[in-house]
Amino acid sequence: MQSPPASPEELAALEARIDEWLESESAANPAIDTVERDTGDIVRWYVRLLGEEKDVWTAWLTLGQRTLRYETYVMPAPEENESEFYAHLLRRNRKLTGLNLEIGEEEAVFLAGSLPVAAVTEVELDRILGSMWAAVEQIFEPALRIGFASRFED
């Protein structure tokens, strides 16, 4: 069942709450490097995060009339071992909650999910970024070593 559309007033209030939360988290959380806003017609935030396995990556939070969509680019399509690479990602996908591994533009791998606007809270925003951070940390290096194995040979 699809969520009802939020009113312009509800969206404006949620946008302000997300702005405030990201500003506060950016100051308090050392994993958040920077936060930027899209200045076009789309209500979108770019949250640049510092990782350990993947040094730097960006989470995109896009506010729509019905949902908050969140996603990040994980890596390009594999150069080799495609079946093993995609099998690995499918196994990882089963362990994710509120996130999905997806194939996007140019066959690249993305991590994404969405939440109805009525369910967006500071707790949920924290869960989203924390879950994305943990998933990228767990998925990135093993997938990289499978899909680009010859680059790791001595």
Is residue 154 a part of any domain in this protein? Answer: no
Is residue 27 a part of any domain in this protein? Answer: yes
Is residue 20 a part of any domain in this protein? Answer: yes
Provide CB contacts within 8 A for 15, sequence distance 6+.
43, 63
3-state secondary structure 131-144: HHHHHHHHHHHHHH
Question: Which among 96, 28, 11 has a CA at the least distance from the CA of 74?
Answer: 96
Question: Which among 98, 52, 46, 42 has a CA at the least distance from the CA of 73?
Answer: 46
CATH classification at residue 50 = 3.30.1460.10
pLDDT recorded at residue 152 = 86
User: In the structure, what pLDDT confidence band is assigned to residue 110 with cuts at 50, 70 and 90?
Assistant: very high
Is residue 77 a part of any domain in this protein? Answer: yes
How many domains, in total, are found in the chain?
A: 1
pTM of whole model > 0.75? yes
Is residue 21 a part of any domain in this protein? Answer: yes
24-63: pLDDT as tens digits = 999 999 999 999 999 889 999 999 999 999 999 999 999 9
Q: What angle is formed at CA 126 by the lines to CA 125 and CA 129, rounded to 5 degrees?
A: 85
pLDDT recorded at residue 40 = 87
Percent of the chain with pLDDT over 90: 92
